[in-house]
């Protein structure tokens, strides 16, 4: 789109990493506790048992999901640092090989002759820029955001807990599971649909398709858990 004085602006979704963490935590938060509550409802009549089990699962699940997010982000950071050290060593010990790799990358974009030589010289004239170029275009790695590991842990764990509270609310308000379960199913289905619309907005999937996918996945998980509880 055009801005003031004909300048061109593009709208991009900011905070993609945060959105990804929210989607990861919320999707599990809405489905796993609901499936647990559905399973217990198939065998026990008292809602307070579901609440107790649900709260315990939220605590364990939130910590587990958060820890998983932390370790994933930490691993990404450590891997980037390791590859960056290797690239710094290579541009120092085998600069001709690294220059040839840069030239090959630019040739893939159609540069030839003098234009290619100038582009290679521009990149290799600064050591840090050289390493950064190799990290991005040879290895396809983006530098991790500082503090990303802890933020990822808190976002994923928090989203899991927030999502998991939704299917448990009816059990707090209704004393028997035979009355609370249908309400929980409806509330969770609506929450899954809204979440699916939100996810589709940021993933490029058609909103209605994304909403239907989340409802189906959550429904299957709950149905299996409910059936197993009945059989046991």
pLDDT tens readout for residues 177-200: 888 888 998 998 888 888 888 777
Q: pLDDT band at 170, cuts 50/70/90?
A: very high
Mean pLDDT of 107-111: 80
* Res 13: pLDDT: 40
9 assigned to some structural domain: no
* Res 208: pLDDT: 80
Does 211 have pLDDT greater than 90? Answer: no
Mean pLDDT of 88-94: 84
pTM score over 0.85: no
Q: pLDDT band at 154, cuts 50/70/90?
A: very high
* Res 30: pLDDT: 83
- The DSSP secondary structure of 9-64, one letter per residue, reads -----S-HHHHHHHHHHHHHHHHHHHHHHHHHHTT--BHHHHHHHHHHHHHHHHHH
Mean pLDDT of 82-94: 85
| Domain range for 128 | 15-231
> Which residues, in sequence order, are CB contacts of 25 under 8 Å at separation 6+?
65, 69, 155, 156, 157, 158, 159, 160, 162, 163
Does 135 have pLDDT greater than 70? Answer: yes
3 assigned to some structural domain: no
10 assigned to some structural domain: no
Q: What phi, psi does 111 have (nearest 5°)?
A: -80, 140
185 assigned to some structural domain: yes
Total structural domains in the chain?
1
42 assigned to some structural domain: yes
Does 2 have pLDDT greater than 50? Answer: no
Closest-CA residue to 35 (of 21, 50, 56, 48): 50
Tell me the pLDDT of the chain averaged across its residues. 81
Mean pLDDT of 157-174: 92
Q: CB count, 10 Å around CB of 117? A: 13
* Res 201: pLDDT: 72
5 assigned to some structural domain: no
Mean pLDDT of 135-142: 81
114 assigned to some structural domain: yes
Does 11 have pLDDT greater than 60? Answer: no
Contact 103, 116 (CB under 8 A): yes
Q: pLDDT band at 74, cuts 50/70/90?
A: confident
Mean pLDDT of 39-63: 86
Say how far apart CA 74 and CA 128 lie, in whole Å.
Answer: 23
Say how far apart CA 135 and CA 217 lie, in whole Å.
Answer: 38
195 assigned to some structural domain: yes
């Amino acid at each position: 789109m055009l801005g003031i004085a004909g300048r061109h602006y593009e709208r991009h979704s900011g905070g993609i990493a945060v959105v990804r963490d929210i989607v990861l935590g919320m999707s599990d938060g809405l489905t796993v506790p609901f499936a647990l509550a559905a399973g217990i409802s198939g065998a026990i009549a008292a809602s307070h048992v579901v609440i107790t089990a649900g709260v315990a699962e939220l605590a364990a699940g939130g910590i587990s999901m958060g820890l998983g997010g932390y370790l994933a982000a930490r691993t990404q950071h450590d891997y980037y640092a390791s590859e960056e050290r290797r690239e710094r060593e290579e541009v120092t010990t085998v600069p001709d090989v690294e220059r040839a790799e840069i030239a090959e990358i630019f040739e893939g974009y159609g540069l030839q002759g003098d234009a290619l030589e100038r582009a290679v010289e521009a990149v290799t004239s600064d050591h840090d820029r050289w390493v950064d170029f190799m990290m991005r275009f040879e290895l396809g790695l983006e530098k991790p955001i500082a503090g990303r590991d802890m933020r990822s842990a808190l976002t994923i764990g928090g989203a899991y807990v927030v999502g998991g509270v939704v299917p448990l609310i009816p059990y707090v308000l209704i004393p028997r599971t035979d009355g609370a379960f249908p309400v929980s199913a409806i509330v969770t289905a609506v929450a899954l649909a809204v979440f699916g619309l939100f996810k589709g907005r940021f993933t490029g999937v058609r909103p209605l398709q994304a909403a239907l996918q989340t409802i189906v996945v959550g429904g299957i998980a709950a149905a299996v858990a409910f059936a197993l509880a009945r059989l046991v």
